[in-house]
Structure 1
């Protein structure tokens, strides 16, 4: 005998009960929940452009000028090492982003083989320039979307390695909000459109939020919260707590870049009050824990290991870190300390030893070794300039006025390069 299925009357009855339950739930829900549901039912885009009250990004200024830690000669030697001497074919956007972040959009050099700030900006923002370095099979760096302009990112050829790193780099480099951004077929967009698309598609569960925090922090204050593309409200409180979540070692750059981003948010909060009092206290406590860890984890020669977060325990069982990882860790700590108040500093002797190690290590590298690990050493140049309270491009322009480019010296340095240098992992 066949089993009888439910009658249409029974099915209709179930549907009526479900609809009634849903209607009841809707009536007792909060106004915000109702708004989200209405947007989803109508397929309306919930995102509203966030006001950007400035045409050039904010800049968190360093707090010190310490020629006793970084002499003019040492700063010049390090900046000479990290000039953007790049091969044009298959030029990594990641390298250009790091160089532009360090040198700024207005950087100029007497060496004709070095990319200027204007050339680096054009490479990152103009698909026509980018396509000259890559084959047609490479996905465009500038991505055209129905909702705006995004940046292709990930560990693939021709892409920016980290989400929002492109945006953070142009922002820290001082790019104007109306800087043109040319896609493969769209020519009317600007950096403004990239900022808004990033605000639209940001999600708190992303793996990397370090550069998003910096980008938003340098453009949108005094705005503290906004609605994202999924209808959820975002805020600097939420971003700060996302940065502090989990083990210190698991963030980008051995956990050091999140420290810089958090310190930047605190400095911005000093002026624009973008954090709640509770969130600011949480961030400050986190930074104090970082200070205490690096006070006790520094090696006698001055470097910090990748497990700096372990404090004194890092010295008891030393890691066999490759050089580039030690440069990452030491350089990044010196960088965030340059914008941190003294209450968050380890003893000055720690800072001095770190400076001595990073300067000597950077100066000892050949040009080819620097080029193969450029992203890591670029942070050294940025950190040292911060400690001298000067922008690298400004210092270098003045330095070259009395120390002109020597083409013969450059040729001798290039000729002395080793045949092969191992390229380290991307940062």
Structure 2
């Protein structure tokens, strides 16, 4: 039987049909399949995107209004101490981020020396505002990316200290999805572009995932899984497993931020079903163990020690712990307990004792001393406001109506010129 050779015209026709078929398949294919092809065959970077259906982030509200934990007067005294009285020159992003998550974008103050919520927001999202504070003394906080904006973080001067803390703080502060973000070379980006960049860049093996968990949890539900730039799938289940992995002493702020993030994800799962039953049970079990540990390690004066994860041993073999670390432990535990169901609480009297210790500690320091450890004390203000089922900005607005600001010079003069009582 003779072999039959295809004519050149036939070969060309076949090739054209293949190309047409391929182009049709490429065009009709899903966005994900096109991105995979571009990445594998054309060596093009992929930029997956998660559709976010809300313009403002979710909020996890506190569950209690308990004046036995903190009275109005005590809350006002603590919040006065943690007002963002920052110098405008070389304003620290880490301080601003912590202040924003406590005070929110809507915070205003009668005292002009206090930085408002809008001013703090603009400092973080506008390179020009950052430049006005830092000049050439620090690298830009906002980093231009091909399809988004990332945040410079780490120990370098003028940076955000923790990964995704910028995003989580602005999220808790109530930033809008379409709020413009002005990077050094990009003027066409918004908060959504920062979120998408963070989702694409996320890695489960990072040292810190606490703030990524919070930011993603407050923005993307009911979405519970997404893809990173390298094509890996990430889910809230995996984040939970990452948060509970290892000894409880690991993690930021003596392991307490992991606890808050887990509690937040459980509360979000109540409404949006972002966790599997197994992941939720694991997270809940972790928090039960935390409850049991802090139930047996509280000191007589009311504080929880930085080595709370040692349980009873923290009392029988106490370590020499700097005061500020005990402030971290006590304030942060009060914070997550304010959004936790009572089943996850230690005995109520322990919560009251912890609150009274942290109130006395905070109000016994000068404002300058508080400023040196501002990031830790900001959590105290937020925690105590939550225990009164409110937020710092709302409470302070109402408090200022009956307790208006009096400039210090005028207050001093009034004290000097006050008439002496008649004997």
Contact 2:38 / 2:46 at 8 angstroms: preserved in 1?
A: no
CA contact (8 A) 2:248 2:309 kept: yes
Give the structure 2 partner of residue 365 of structure 1.
Answer: 365
Shift of 1:41: 4.1
Counterparts of residues 38-117 of structure 1 (less than 5 Å) = 39-117=39-117
Q: Partners of 1:295 and 1:150 in 2: how far apart?
A: 41
The question of whether the paired residues in 2 share the 8 Å contact of 1:63 and 1:338 is answered with yes
SS at the partner of 1:132?
A: helix
Mapped to 2, the partners of 1:319 and 1:95 lie a distance apart of 29
How far off its partner does 1:242 sit? 0.4
Question: Contact 1:331/1:383 (CA < 8 Å) preserved in 2?
Answer: yes
Return 375-384 or 37-46, whichever deviates more.
37-46
1:280 and 1:377 mapped to 2: Cα distance? 30
- Shift of the 59–410 alpha-carbon distance from structure 1 to 2, 3 Å rule, reads farther
Give yes or no for contact 1:47–1:230 (8 Å, CA) kept in 2. no
**Alignment correspondent of 2:403:** 403
Contact 2:56/2:177, CA 8 A, preserved across alignment:
yes
Q: What secondary structure does 1:297 align onto?
A: coil
Deviation at 1:252, TM superposition (A): 0.3
Aligned-pair distance for 1:42?
3.1
> How far apart are the structure 1 equivalents of 2:58 and 2:371?
30
2:187 is matched with 187
State the SS of the aligned residue for 1:352.
Answer: helix
Structure 1 residue 36: Cα displacement: 6.2
In structure 2, distance between residues paired with 1:73 and 1:411: 20
Q: Provide Cα deviations, 1:228-277, integer angstroms capped at 9, x if missing partner.
A: 11100000000111011111111100000000000000000000000000
TM-superposed CA distance for 1:46, in Å, is: 3.9
For 1:67 and 1:109, how far apart are their aligned partners in 2?
Answer: 24
Partner secondary structure for residue 158 of structure 2:
coil
Check conservation: 1:46, 1:227, Cα contact below 8 A.
no
**RMSD in angstroms over aligned alpha carbons?**
1.7
What SS does structure 2 have at the residue aligned with 1:380? helix
Q: How far does residue 410 in structure 1 lie from its aligned partner after superposition?
A: 9.1
Residue aligning to 1:281: 281
Distance 1:409 1:377, change over 3 A: farther
Q: Distance in 2 between matches of 1:287 and 1:124?
A: 33
| Match of residue 236 from structure 1 | 236
Structure-2 residue corresponding to 1:15:
none
SS in 2 for 1:361: helix
Match of 1:208 in 2: 208
Q: Could you list the runs of 5+ residues in structure 2 that have no partner in the other structure?
A: 1-31, 413-423
- Give the drift of 1:68: 1.8
- Cα distance in structure 2, aligned partners of 1:46 and 1:186: 20
Q: Provide the residue aligned with 1:300 in structure 2.
A: 300
Q: Which runs of 5+ in 1 are unaligned?
A: 1-31, 413-427
Q: How far, CA to CA, are the matches of 1:66 and 1:130 in structure 2?
A: 40
1:381-392 matched pairs, under 5 angstroms: 381-392=381-392
Q: Is the 8 A contact 2:240 2:283 kept in 1?
A: yes
Post-superposition offset of 1:411: 7.6
- Distance in 1 between the 2:274 and 2:208 partners? 21
Shift of 1:170: 0.2
> Which structure would you say has the larger Rg?
2
Distance 1:41 1:319 in 2: 58
TM-score, reference length from structure 2: 0.87
Moved more, 184-193 or 231-240: 184-193
Q: What is the DSSP-based 3-state SS (H/G/I as helix, E as strand, rest coil) of the residue aligned with 1:304?
A: coil
Cα distance in 1 for residues equivalent to 2:67 and 2:207: 38
Provide TM-score, normalisation by structure 1: 0.87
In structure 2, relative to structure 1, the CA distance for the partners of 1:53 and 1:409 (3 Å cut) is farther
Aligned length: 381
Where 2:217 maps in the other structure, the secondary structure is: helix
Which secondary structure state, in structure 2, belongs to the residue aligned with residue 226 of structure 1? strand
State the distance in 2 between where 1:378 and 1:69 align.
18
1:32-85 deviation digits (Å, cap 9, x = unpaired): 99x969733432434421011100000000000001211000000000100000
Contact 1:178 1:191 in 2 (8 A): yes
Q: For the residues of structure 1 that align with 2:387 and 2:368, how far apart are their CA atoms?
A: 26
Q: Where does residue 158 of structure 1 map in the other structure?
A: 158
Preserved CA contact (<8 Å) 2:69 2:352: yes
Distance 2:391 2:323 in 1: 27
1:19 corresponding residue in structure 2: none
For 1:353 and 1:253, how far apart are their aligned partners in 2?
A: 21
Which segments of structure 1 move beyond 4 Å, counting only runs of 4 or more?
A: 35-38, 409-412
Distance 1:224 1:256 in 2: 24
CA positional deviation for 1:136: 1.6
Residues 285, 410 of structure 1: CA spacing in aligned structure 2 closer, same or farther, 3 A cutoff?
farther
SS in 1 for 2:369: helix
